[in-house]
């Protein structure tokens, strides 16, 4: 049975992003942008630029949540969801290795913040009810303060009062991907495959099996991406991957609508 395709791209790949957009739009349900932290482009900035250049592609931006401020991440992903009309997601990353020295924190401290950060971000996305914006020009009322909520989140190492400074995202809760409690999807649940210029359609078909929920193909280098894109028509004809669908990223991945926890 054909399954959705996602493509994993690192922000330090030397790619002509503008030229790549048409191919990605026709190829993948969504792309993940893995932030390389101290090399390449910032994933959130690149994601928001891509959002304005695309019409269908889901865009999942990577952020090291044990380093970045959850409040700012929540507003950035909410903005991305508004720009894409509901095609946004957050890829949970962990700052490790060389990043630890830059941050000045121990690995155990870094790991402890992940789940708190995801929960705080989710609460901030709900801190505006869907009908908080009024736009009553005659009455000079544009915002219903009663429909904005202080989240008053208290984590192990940080606290956030809220509410957000960005209206609730179109999806309510943009898709969260990562190996952490509170995620909608773990990349481990997909068929993760790093591909190079020598891989064949036959090799990918041989790895296809019943019960697979999706492919996540990651080019080893920028020069391997054109080869991967050339394989896709064969893989579609052979029933391995499905063509991209429309609608919100949540709906494409079979996730239910996200109710607002603060709404009556």
Cα within 13 Å of Cα(94), Cβ side: 16
pTM for the model: 0.92
pLDDT of residue 57: 96
Is residue 102 over pLDDT 70?
no
Average per-residue pLDDT in the chain? Answer: 89
Identify which of 107, 150, 144 has the alpha carbon closest to the alpha carbon of residue 126.
Answer: 150
CA 58 to chain centroid, in Å, comes to 8
Report which listed range, 18-22, 74-78, 188-192, is most confident.
74-78
pLDDT of residue 195: 94
Structural domain includes residue 27: yes
Per-residue confidence band for 106, with pLDDT thresholds at 50, 70 and 90: low
pLDDT over 90 (residue 104)? no
Q: The domain containing residue 152 runs over which residues?
A: 5-252
Structural domain count, the chain: 1
In a domain, 183, yes or no: yes
List b or e across 27-41, with b for residues whose CB sees 16 or more CB atoms inside 10 angstroms.
bbbbbbbbbbbeebb
In a domain, 264, yes or no: no
Tell me: the pLDDT tens digits for 22-45? Answer: 999 989 999 999 998 776 789 999
In which band, very low, low, confident or very high, does the pLDDT at 208 lie, cut at 50, 70 and 90? Answer: confident
Residue 261 lies in a domain: no
Residue 257 lies in a domain: no
CATH number for the domain including 88? 3.20.20.30
135-174 burial, b at 16+ Cβ within 10 Å, e below that, comes to: eeeeeeeeeeeebbbebebeeeeeebebbbebbbbbbbbb
* 13 CA to centre of own chain: 18
Going by DSSP bridges, is the β-strand pair 133-136/153-154 parallel, antiparallel, or unpaired? unpaired
CA–CA distance, 43 with 35 (Å, rounded to integer): 5
Domain assignment present for residue 228? The answer is yes
259, part of any domain: no
Specify if 262 maps to a domain: no
Mean of pLDDT values over 87-110: 73
Give yes or no for residue 100 having a pLDDT over 70.
no
Q: Between 141 and 61, whose confidence is greater?
A: 61
Q: Tell me the pairing of strands 141-143 and 133-136.
A: antiparallel
């Amino acid at each position: 049975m054909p399954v959705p395709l996602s493509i994993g791209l690192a922000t330090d790949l030397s790619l002509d992003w503008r030229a790549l957009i048409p191919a990605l739009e026709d190829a993948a349900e969504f792309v993940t942008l893995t932030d390389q932290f101290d090399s390449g482009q910032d994933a959130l900035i690149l994601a928001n630029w891509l959002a304005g250049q695309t019409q269908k592609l889901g865009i999942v931006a990577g952020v090291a949540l044990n380093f970045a401020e959850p409040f700012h991440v929540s507003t950035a992903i909410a903005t991305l969801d508004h720009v894409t009309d509901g095609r946004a997601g957050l890829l949970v990353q962990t700052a490790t290795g060389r990043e630890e020295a830059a941050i000045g924190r121990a690995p155990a401290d870094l790991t402890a913040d992940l789940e708190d950060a995801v929960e705080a971000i989710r609460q901030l996305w709900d801190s505006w009810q869907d009908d908080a914006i009024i736009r009553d020009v005659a009455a000079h009322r544009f915002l219903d303060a009663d429909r904005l909520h202080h989240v008053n989140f208290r984590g192990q190492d940080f606290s956030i009062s809220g509410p957000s400074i960005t209206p609730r995202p179109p999806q309510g809760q943009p898709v969260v991907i990562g190996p952490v409690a509170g995620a909608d999807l773990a990349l481990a649940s997909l068929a993760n495959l790093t591909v190079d210029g020598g891989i064949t359609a036959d090799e990918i078909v041989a790895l296809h099996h019943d019960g697979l929920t999706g492919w996540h193909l990651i080019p080893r280098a920028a020069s391997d991406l054109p080869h991967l894109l050339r394989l896709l028509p064969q893989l579609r004809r052979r029933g391995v991957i499905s063509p991209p669908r429309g609608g919100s990223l949540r709906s494409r991945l079979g996730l239910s609508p996200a109710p607002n926890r603060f709404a009556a």
